[in-house]
Amino acid sequence: MVKHSSRIALSQSALQTNFNFIRKKTGQGVRISSVVKANAYGHGIAEFVPMAEKCGISHFSVASSFEAEEVLSVCSDKTSIMIMGILYEEDIPWAVENGIEFYVFNFERLLIAKEVAERLGKKAVVHIEVETGANRTGLQADDFKKTIEYLTENREYIQFEGLCTHLGGAETLANKFKIDAQVLRYNNFLETCREMNYMPRKRHIASSAAALAFEETRFDMVRIGVAQYGFWPSPDIRYLHLQETKKTTENGLKRIFTWKTDIMDLRKVKAGEYIGYGTAYQAVQDMDIAVLPLGYSNGYPRGLSNRGQVLIKGKKAPVVGLINMNLFMVNISHIPDVAVGDEVVLVGRQKNNVIPVSSFTDATQLLNNEMLSRLPAAIPRKAVT
């Protein structure tokens, strides 16, 4: 196989650190579902899932049946997979056949699940998602009693695996009033289950932010995405943690991925010349330039034109000119002895310098999640210690 223009390394020890930190926060008895939608937030499902399993994770959440299929192809037999989003009706038999758990957010879907389960002679494992205030997907309160009745009557076909909801914006403390209202409504649904004497096996509503910060949202399981990859869900949540631990700097979460490429070519540019397309960058003095073999089609955001930085020989080299579709240039005038083939760090550490993901997001207005999830699946990922 030929060499790709960049590569991503994933640190097993950093991942372990993150799960240790999250487990310490959420406490014993709370199961972690590792959220690996969007190709594991760009980390790569195929590489990330086995790494998480090594850390004791045995439950994964995805947004679609398409992603579930990918997890299924790499996970161990004992691992559970849960689809939180799109599962087309025609794929429900596939999900039931493979024991894949899925969200049900309207009554009609329950009828189909039962029919499929009966036909295949295998239970459908469902999580009833209820509407509590995020107003995306979720069963409305009006349909709830009917749903629990149906689940009770059809327990031989449908396993009431979970009762869940999604909190809309637990990352921001200013939204806490909204989260509180959602938690209250969720508890009302639970109360109805109790009254009707049929409880779900797992209650779960928290994603990273709520799981790290708000105890009353943890219940039996938390759905952890961004935090497991080593990112704080928001400055607010990090602040709450520091306040709780009475520390000023502790991080506890470590970025697990490093993204590297290497130098494709070197050139000298005379003062007054323009670099790359158009007139975006004009050399004000004679410069030494390195050409790198990737661009916006390879996940390096175009918004970093004239703004980004990479590491070469442990020193920061600023992007000069526009990020092209599959090339960009950096200024190396201040770095001696640079050669073609030298390692270039796009995200991560090299000697005493670091390029964090946040440096991308600061410059481009991209969300951390957005930047990561856009990393093309074609970039090779590799687990390292």
Ligand X SMILES: *Cc1c(COP(=O)(O)O)cnc(C)c1O
The DSSP result for 336-367, as a single string, is: -S--TT-EEEEEEEETTEEE-HHHHHHHH---
Cα(226)–Cα(242) distance, rounded to whole angstroms?
A: 18
**92-100, 118-126, 220-228, 234-242 -> range binding ligand X (CB under 6 A):** 220-228
Q: Which is nearer to ligand X, 233 or 252 (CB)?
A: 233
Q: Specify the DSSP element, H or E, that contains 239.
A: helix 235-245
**224-232, 235-243, 289-297, 344-352 -> range binding ligand X (CB under 6 A):** 224-232
Cα(131)–Cα(140) distance, rounded to whole angstroms?
A: 5
Cα(171)–Cα(179) distance, rounded to whole angstroms?
A: 10
158: tokens are: 């449908």
Is 283 among the residues that bind ligand X (CB under 6 A)? no
Residue choice 225, 230, 295, 348 for contact with ligand X (CB under 6 A): 225
Is 166 among the residues that bind ligand X (CB under 6 A)? yes
The DSSP result for 267-308, as a single string, is: EEE-TT-B-SSTTS-B-SS-EEEEEES--GGGT--GGGTTT-
Rounded to a whole number of angstroms, the minimum distance from the CB of residue 139 to ligand X is 14
Rounded to a whole number of angstroms, the minimum distance from the CB of residue 39 to ligand X is 13
User: In this structure, what is the dihedral angle of CA atoms 84, 86, 92, 98, given to the nearest 10 degrees?
Assistant: -50
**3-11, 151-159, 204-212, 300-308 -> range binding ligand X (CB under 6 A):** 204-212
Is 123 among the residues that bind ligand X (CB under 6 A)? no
Tokens 């914006």 correspond to 169
Residue choice 43, 223, 255, 381 for contact with ligand X (CB under 6 A): 223
Give the residue closest to ligand X by C-beta.
225
**11-19, 107-115, 206-214, 375-383 -> range binding ligand X (CB under 6 A):** 206-214
Map residue 157 onto helix, strand or coil.
coil
Residue choice 35, 183, 371, 379 for contact with ligand X (CB under 6 A): 35
309: Cα separation from own chain's centroid: 24
The mark string for 67-106 relative to ligand X (x by CB under 6 A, - otherwise) is: -----------------x----------------------
Task: Decide if 130 contacts 138 (C-beta within 8 A).
Answer: yes
Cα(329)–Cα(289) distance, rounded to whole angstroms?
A: 6
Is 218 among the residues that bind ligand X (CB under 6 A)? no
Spatial neighbors of 334 by CB under 8 A, at least 6 apart, are 315
**71-79, 218-226, 351-359, 377-385 -> range binding ligand X (CB under 6 A):** 218-226
Is 226 among the residues that bind ligand X (CB under 6 A)? yes
The mark string for 322-361 relative to ligand X (x by CB under 6 A, - otherwise) is: ----------------------------------------
The DSSP result for 34-52, as a single string, is: EE-HHHHHTT-HHHHHHHH
Residue choice 133, 233, 252, 276 for contact with ligand X (CB under 6 A): 233
Q: How many residues bind ligand X (CB under 6 A)?
A: 13
Interface contacts to ligand X, rule CB under 6 A: 35, 37, 84, 166, 207-209, 223-227, 233
